[in-house]
Amino acid sequence: QVQLQESGPGLVKPSETLSLTCTVSGYSISSGYYWGWIRQPPGKGLEWIGSIYHSGSTYYNPSLKSRVTMSVDTSKNQFSLKLTSVTAADTAVYYCAREKGLIGDLRGVFDIWGQGTVVTVSS
Amino acid sequence: DIQMTQSPSSLSASVGDRVTITCRASQSISYYLNWYQQKPRKAPKLLIYAASSLQSGVPSRFSGSGSGTDFTLTISSLQPEDFATYYCQQSYSTPPYTFGQGTKLEIK
């Protein structure tokens, strides 16, 4: 079955860049679907960061757009997130997830999630 | 952005109870409304999509309804494993997709 696994540093210094990778197993990214990042600050709700297609087409949350870059590496079956100029407000559990479909009411529905990775922003 | 508001924010109930959680959108989102369940230290799990479609593998005691701005998630008979936090999410307008603030369902 399809599985997602986040990886990356658990501690990032303020003003630096947060970099995370999501490795997909059980499915080839280049076969389709949008792949997204969602985060959850401690004790708070969920915030969608952005999504990427295997072609590299992206769409981001406007509130983070100036600091976010997502990319895909089909050869490694991975997609990645970079968030620049981080502050303590970026401390969160970061999840990668798959959008259920490409069109209509399946777009933006996250049906498969990674287990999440904790990122703390602190000096 | 479309704002999603859930009520109540928390709820106490007993095993066997029928429970309803409400989600309201700040503007019409047709039927582009999804529900997730999250247990502590776990990733969210998709329960319902497109307002009323049950995700594969999800027990039939979960159901969703609504359209436009008002939606509900109903659990017909609470089971011990259903105590969790529930989130609604709109996928009508992008960017961005937005989530409700969550409803914590606790054991009475």
Confidence of residue A17 (pLDDT cuts 50, 70, 90): very high
A113, exposed or middle or buried, with CB in 10 Å at 0-12, 13-18, 19+?
buried
CA distance A34 to A108: 9
Q: Residue A103: how many CB atoms within 10 A of its CB?
A: 6
Q: Residue A73: how many CB atoms within 10 A of its CB?
A: 12
- CB-based contact (8 Å) between B64 and chain A? no
Confidence of residue B3 (pLDDT cuts 50, 70, 90): very high
CB contact under 8 A, B49 and A95: no
Checking DSSP bridges between strand B33-38 and strand B45-49, what pairing results, if any? antiparallel
B31-61 pLDDT, tens per residue?
999 999 999 999 999 999 999 999 999 999 9
CB contact under 8 A, B91 and A115: no
CA distance A112 to A39: 15
* pLDDT of the residue at A123: 96
B65-75 pLDDT, tens per residue?
999 999 999 99
